[in-house]
């Protein structure tokens, strides 16, 4: 457990301190907030893809479910925002439970089914027939709870919890068992690992963090449409960021977010199609030449990367 405390001290603590202090120095708070949200999502993808091998192509489904869980609590029950964020997390867990049968599928089938599931949730929420509950495609407006400062710090807290969870996975028998299941499910179950339970726990944990992130996102932006919070970009960005850095590590997704999302903000806003081109090429190059992510540059030289 010495390793775990080292990771907490040298990775998690600086990250939290930096993101807690930055709003005082740097004026573009929305940008900082987006960084924190993507750090959460990339680590959420890391939990499910890095440690179990399931590629969640519809990860945004949980994010959107969290956002709408938040919105419905605030609109219909006037709950205070922090409580509504927790409900958003619970809604995402409920969706995760509903989708557990998908874990029976493997490889590409899981990824496609998960993508289909997230689109199904989007069309369900955006259905004009449910306007009374979700406001359908016309979007929600939650001006009553609008408080970007609190939402930002809530996001930092969730980020700390998520990174903490990854540190736990990296340093615990549970995480080791998960990776054993990923490499060879049959052998792992022979060795006494309860495969189904393990996978479901990782799946729900990653659903939970995406749901909390979604709830906080809804709190921060306060006006949004189904297409915003269910945008496929969230899943794709989170997956690409995590892969770019290197999954099944603590630092990989963090590095991925900081570099790629940084590039995105430098060139993406003015000319999105050029960014799309660059990042498409980057993804292809990554898969062909560096399938294990940036950290593999270091691990190939024999350096240990947490």
Partner 1 sequence: MTYALVAGVMFGLYFSLVGIGLNLVFGVMRIVNLAHGDILMLGAFIALGVVGIAGIDPLFAVPLAFVVFVLAGVLLYWVLVPRLQGSANPEMLSIILFFGLSQVIEAVTTIFAGTSERSIQSRLLGTVFTTIKVKWFGGKAGGAGPIQIFGQGFPAPWVIAAITSLVAIGLVYLYLYHTRLGTLTRAVMSRRDEALATGIDVDRVSAAAFGIGLGIAAVAGVFAPFMFGSVTPAFGADATVTSFAIVVLGSLGNPLGTALGGVVYGLCYMLVQTYLSSWADLLPYVLLIVILLLRPSGLLGRRVRVA
* Binding residues vs partner 1 (CB under 8 A): 53, 55, 57, 101-102, 104-109, 111-113, 115-117, 119-120, 123-124, 127-129, 232, 236, 239-240, 243, 273-274, 276-277, 279-284, 286-288, 291
Dmax (CA) of the chain: 59
| Distance in Å, CB of 115 to partner 1, minimum | 6
| Distance in Å, CB of 146 to partner 1, minimum | 31
What is the Cα Rg of the chain in Å? 19
| Distance in Å, CB of 231 to partner 1, minimum | 11
Which is nearer to partner 1, 94 or 116 (by Cβ)?
116
End-to-end CA distance of the chain: 14
Which is nearer to partner 1, 101 or 302 (by Cβ)?
101
CA distances from 6 to 3, 9, 182, 245 (A): 5, 5, 26, 21
CA distances from 154 to 61, 85, 147 (A): 21, 9, 11
Task: Please identify which residue in the block is written with the tokens 């959460």.
Answer: 40
- CA–CA dist 199, 222 (Å, integer): 34
CA distances from 197 to 13, 103, 175 (A): 31, 11, 13
Length reported for the chain: 306
Nearest to 59 by CA among 126, 110, 104: 110
Which is nearer to partner 1, 112 or 161 (by Cβ)?
112
CB within 8 A of 146, min separation 6: which ones?
A: 222
* Structure-block tokens of residue 235: 């899943």
Which is nearer to partner 1, 41 or 163 (by Cβ)?
41
| Distance in Å, CB of 99 to partner 1, minimum | 9
Spatial contact of 214 and 66, defined as CB atoms under 8 Å apart? yes
Nearest to 59 by CA among 209, 260, 162, 174: 209
Which is nearer to partner 1, 4 or 116 (by Cβ)?
116
DSSP code, position 141: E
Which is nearer to partner 1, 5 or 276 (by Cβ)?
276
Which is nearer to partner 1, 70 or 279 (by Cβ)?
279
CA distances from 150 to 70, 75, 183, 216 (A): 15, 19, 41, 9
| Distance in Å, CB of 240 to partner 1, minimum | 8
Which is nearer to partner 1, 224 or 279 (by Cβ)?
279
| Distance in Å, CB of 52 to partner 1, minimum | 12
| Distance in Å, CB of 142 to partner 1, minimum | 25
């Amino acid at each position: 457990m010495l390793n775990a405390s080292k990771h907490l001290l040298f990775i998690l603590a600086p990250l939290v301190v930096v993101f807690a202090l930055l709003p005082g120095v740097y004026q573009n708070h929305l940008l900082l907030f987006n960084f924190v949200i993507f750090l959460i999502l990339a680590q959420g993808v890391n939990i499910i893809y890095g440690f179990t091998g399931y590629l969640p192509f519809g990860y945004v489904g949980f994010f959107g479910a969290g956002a709408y869980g938040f919105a419905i609590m605030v609109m219909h029950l006037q709950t205070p925002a922090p409580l509504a964020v927790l409900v958003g997390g619970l809604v995402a867990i409920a969706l995760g439970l509903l989708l557990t049968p998908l874990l029976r599928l493997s490889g590409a089938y899981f990824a496609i089914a998960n993508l289909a599931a997230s689109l199904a949730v989007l069309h369900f929420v955006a259905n004009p027939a449910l306007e009374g509950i979700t406001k359908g495609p016309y979007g929600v407006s939650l001006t009553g709870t609008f408080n970007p400062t609190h939402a930002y710090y809530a996001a930092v807290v969730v980020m700390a919890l998520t990174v903490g969870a990854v540190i736990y996975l990296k340093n615990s028998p549970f995480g080791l068992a998960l990776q054993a299941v990923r490499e060879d499910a049959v052998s792992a179950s022979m060795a006494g690992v309860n495969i189904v339970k393990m996978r479901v726990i990782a799946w729900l944990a990653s659903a939970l963090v995406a749901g909390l992130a979604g709830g906080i996102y809804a709190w921060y932006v306060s006006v949004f449409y189904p297409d915003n919070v269910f945008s496929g970009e969230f899943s794709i960005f989170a997956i690409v960021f995590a892969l770019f850095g290197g999954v099944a590590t603590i630092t990989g997704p963090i590095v991925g977010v900081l570099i790629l999302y940084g590039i995105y903000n430098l060139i993406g806003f003015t000319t999105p199609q050029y960014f799309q081109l660059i990042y498409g090429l980057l993804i292809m190059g990554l898969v062909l030449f560096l399938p294990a992510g940036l950290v593999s540059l270091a691990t190939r030289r024999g350096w240990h990367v947490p």
